[in-house]
Structures are given as structure tokens and as C-alpha cells.
Amino acid sequence: MVLISSTSALGNRGQANYSAAKAGIQGLTKTLAIELGRFGVRVNCVAPGFIQTAMTQQTADRLGVSFEDFEAAVAAQVPLQRIGQPDDVAGVIAFLCSDDAAYVSGQVVYVRGGP
């Protein structure tokens, strides 16, 4: 199983409800890994940061800034100096579902271009 959370689980101004829900998914991941491991079920979580999607486009629209300016401002704060793409998240999920991750369970992997 691969559950999807968000870096918002670490805290996000103005989104206490969203942050709490995403943190809950991370706790659920760890608990399910403990409970289901004896049945051979691996449970992990992927927590994306800023990923270029329709949702992030809507955020820029809501803030009244161009998406390009919004992306540039975010990218400047990311150690890899770029915005995440959906394929960045998909690659991590594919790894966690593969035999290469056969001994990985109960982990939260942040896909955010840096620590």
C-alpha cells in the first residue's frame, strides 16, 4: 500500500485542518505497517511538496499572481531550484510498489526537492 500525504503534515499556515489530516495519514501508515507486516503487506507513504498541478495553478489564481511568478518564487526556496512534476511523485510510488522496495515498510518519503 502507498498512501499519499503532503509536506503540509509538517505544518502549513492557515490550514490546521489540512495539516492534521495529512499528519494523520502518516500515523496511519506507520500503524498499518506494524499491524499488516506479519501478513506480508508493506505500507508506505509519499508526501509531496509543491508539485506542478491544477491545484497549484488554482492557488496562484486565488493569490492573484501569474502561475509562472508563483512557480519561480517557490522554486527559489527549493534546494534543487525547480518545481516538482507529477512524474517525480510517480517514480517514488513506482519504486515503493516494486520488488526493489521489498524490505521497506512504514516509511514516509518526502518528495520536495530537498530536506
Active site residues: 18
Q: What b-and-e string marks burial along 66-96, b requiring 16 or more CB atoms within 10 Å of the CB?
A: eeeebbeebeeeeeeeebbeeebbeebeeeb
